[in-house]
Every structure is written in structure tokens, then in C-alpha cells.
Amino acid sequence: MQITSEEKRIQGISFSEIAEKFGTPTYVYDTDVIRNQYRKLKEAFKDINIKIKYAAKALTNQAILKVLLKEGSGIDVVSLQEVELALKAGYKPSEIMFTPNGVSFYEIEKAVEYGVVVNIDNLPTLQKFGARYGSSYNCCVRINPHVKAGGNEKIMTGHRESKFGISIEQVNELYQTVHEYNIQVAGVHVHTGSDIKNIDAFIETMQSLFEVAKNFKNLSFLDFGSGFKVAYSDDDVATDIYELGKKLSEEVKEFINVYGRQLEIWIEPGKFLVSECGYLLVKAELIKPTPACCFVFVNSGLNHLIRPMMYGAYHKITNVTNPKGIPTLYNVVGYICETDTFAGNIYIAEVREGDLLIIHNAGAYGFSMSSNYNSRFRPAEVMIHEKKPYLIRRRETIEDLLRNQIDVDL
């Protein structure tokens, strides 16, 4: 495979080299980007006692979890399985924040057995927790501040109709439950969604959290969630993380001064840390001109990256093999037997059969939301770390599809 001098590289390694060694479709992650994003957050919030808890659901591969652990990150998880993955990656129970949503109380009991921080987002579960543990095990409570913030409505979690959190209109019931069972509340949590462009929305949410937090006298932390937006295109808006850090820090210092004791401030970035590190490397299998448009079919689909079809998300696509080709209008589509569009009406350097394409900003909610729809295999994952490529998940085979099926003799 010929590698051109213009070809995009990750830590000196070309996508053509990656494709030749590992095949396609393949997710590729640049750990330099992850580490730089983590350090940017630490710098932006340096004036307060910040604790970063990576939102693992964005990308749960053990290798990625270990990279962030080595940087000093804690972790935010939303299922028992993610709890166990975090423990296997080496996180201490005290570094793990477990924030489930509407789960069986069994999961809460198991989380307590593991010794992780339990974040409770509804009154019925809080009542069960109080009856079961009383003051013997600290917890965190998640508030729904009724603030509409974020991008697509599907990723907003803090508005009045959201299923997440204890409604701000139910705080008196919250206080009553905590008092009745002598529950020890160690933290108050809020998260309003993803892709928040307006810093003022963070501040508004923060004020709601402060109003609740002041009624708990023995807190050790406040958790502001995340929702920091990254740019998906050259002209896209991203959260100004340094401006946010400055404003949030000022508000936090003022609250702590009134509250009367030092508090840790937790944030839970997922997309911000891993979105821009990731690429989905695919191959153009077919160029199909039609009277309406010209389709580029690639050897992947919504089973590998569902965000464009689920959220209408934009992902930049570039031609690795022919970067200087004439810009041509295409619809880039997948091989799934559904409407399966990665991007419509976009200009890409002329694509020919066999060309390698990269779909950008695919690190967050790419592989983690993948499936075996149409009985397609999930792709390989490759991590570029300190200028070396590592296979961190092999490509699936037919044996993987059949592993848990039971052959019934009919």
C-alpha cells in the first residue's frame, strides 16, 4: 500500500500503515489527545480542589481506562458491569462514582459491597437505601435542576420532564427522607446533558445545586457532571473550558466561604476527553452514481457508529488515500439493511473504490454503542500510545456471534 507524504498520521503512524496491519473497519485512538484534554481540564480548574471522574460510558476499553487512571483520573460509571470494568482496570473503589438510573436495588447493594461511591437519583431508591443502611454508608444524591441545556433534546438530562435525578420541586421530600432515615449525604450531584454551548447554563445549574447543598452540613464533595462541548467541524462551537473554569471557580469559592468547610469539586467529562482522540477507519467498497446523488458505500455502518442516525450528529469524513483529489459531493453510507447514512451532501476529495476514509471525532459513543445488527462483526480497536500501535480489541468472528447461542436439537 502506497503511503503519501500528505497522509494524516497519528504520532508518526499513518492510517495506511494501520489499515495494512490491522485491517478495516477499525477504531483508532490517539492517547496524546486524551492526555492533553485531561491536562487542559486540570489547568482550567487549577484554582479549586478539582477531581476529574471520567464518564466511562463514552469508551470503556480497559486500555483507555488505564491511560486515564495513569493521568490521575477517577471514574464515573452507570452500571455494575462498568463498576467491575473500572475495578479490573485498577481504580480504587473510592475513586469510582456509581450513578445508575432506575435500576434494581440489587445493583445498589452490590455497589455498596464493592465499596464504591453510590449516587442515588430518585426518592424510592433513597428510601430503600435509608431503610437498609441508615447512617452506616454515605451516599450522594442527584438533583434534576429543571434546566434545559445541551444540544439535541435526546442528550438533555436536566429538564423538568427528564427521567434523571430528584426533581428540584421534590427537595422537601428529599430532606424529609434523609432526616427520617439519618442518611449521611456526602455529595450532591447534577448533570444537565451533553454539548452545552452556553457557559451561563452551567452557572444556572450550579446555583440550583448550591441551594440544595447548603441544607446538608457534612458534605465532602459537589459534583457538577459535565456536558463540555467539543467541535465536530472546523466552524463548530466548543465550550471555552478556561472561561468556564474561571467562572465556576469563582462561584465555588464564594459558596465554600459561606458553607464554612472545604469541599472537593467533581466533574465527569466523557466526550470531552475521548471524542477527538478517535477515528473510525473504513474502506470505500462501492461508488454508486444515481440521478439524485453519488453514494460512497463503506465497509461499516450504523452498527459501528450510530450517532449520525440516532442523533443526527455530524462527523467530518476525509479521504486518506487521495487527499488531494478534486472535492466531490457525496452521500457516505454503510452496508446495513436500513437507511444508514454517515454523512449526506458533503464534499470529500474524490473517492475511488478501495480508498481509505476516516470518520473523525469517533472516540466517544462509537464502539461503546456498537452492535451486531445484521449479524455484522464489531470492529477492531487500535490505540496509538507513545508512538506505538497496540491492538486493544480484536475484530469479532463468527464464533463470537455464536458463543452464547445454544444449539437445540430439533
Q: Domain of 365: which CATH number?
A: 2.40.37.10
Give the CA-trace dihedral at 85, 90, 93, 96, to 10 degrees: -60
108 and 254 housed in the same domain: yes
| 319 domain residue, yes or no | yes
243 and 279 housed in the same domain: no
Q: What is the pLDDT of residue 148?
A: 55
264 and 131 housed in the same domain: yes
Q: State the SS3 of 304-321.
A: CCCHHHHHCCCCCEEECC
CATH at residue 180: 3.20.20.10
Last residue of a domain, one of 208, 240, 269: 269
DSSP character at residue 363? S
> Which pTM was predicted?
0.92
DSSP notation for 267-317? E--SHHHHGGGEEEEEEEEEEEE-SS-EEEEES--TTT--HHHHH-----E
Whole-Å CA distances, 8 to 12, 98, 225, 281: 9, 38, 34, 12
Q: What is the pLDDT of residue 197?
A: 64
Q: What is the pLDDT of residue 155?
A: 41
340-368 burial string, b = 16+ CB within 10 Å, else e? bbbbeebebbebeeebbbbbbbbbbbbbe
Helix (H, G, I), strand (E, B) or coil at 344: strand
Q: What is the pLDDT of residue 88?
A: 98
342 and 372 housed in the same domain: yes
Grid cell listed for 66: 488505564
Q: What is the pLDDT of residue 173?
A: 95
Task: Assess contact for 304 and 310: CB atoms under 8 A.
Answer: no
| 308 domain residue, yes or no | yes
CA terminus-to-terminus distance, the chain: 49
Q: How many CB atoms lie within 10 A of CB 408?
A: 5
294 and 380 housed in the same domain: yes
234 and 294 housed in the same domain: no
Q: What is the pLDDT of residue 139?
A: 97
Domain count, the chain: 2
Helix (H, G, I), strand (E, B) or coil at 114: helix
Q: Which residues are catalytic?
A: 337
pLDDT tens for the chain, 410 residues: list them: 444 556 789 999 999 999 999 999 999 999 999 999 999 999 999 999 999 999 999 999 999 999 999 999 999 999 999 999 999 999 999 999 999 998 999 999 999 999 999 999 999 999 999 999 999 999 999 998 877 545 545 444 445 557 778 888 899 999 999 999 999 999 999 987 655 667 777 888 888 899 999 999 999 999 999 888 888 878 788 888 999 999 999 999 999 999 999 999 999 999 999 999 999 999 999 999 999 999 999 999 999 999 999 989 999 999 999 999 999 999 999 999 999 999 999 999 999 999 999 999 999 999 999 999 999 999 999 999 999 999 999 999 999 999 999 999 99
| 54 domain residue, yes or no | no
Q: How many CB atoms lie within 10 A of CB 387?
A: 10
Last residue of a domain, one of 269, 284, 319: 269
228 and 125 housed in the same domain: yes
Domain that holds residue 289: 9-29+275-402
| 201 domain residue, yes or no | yes
Instruction: Locate all alpha helices (DSSP H) within 51-143, ordered by sequence.
Output: 62-71, 80-89, 105-114, 123-133
Q: How many CB atoms lie within 10 A of CB 401?
A: 14
| 386 domain residue, yes or no | yes
Q: What is the pLDDT of residue 12?
A: 95
290 and 199 housed in the same domain: no
Task: Assess contact for 269 and 74: CB atoms under 8 A.
Answer: no
| 87 domain residue, yes or no | no
| 202 domain residue, yes or no | yes
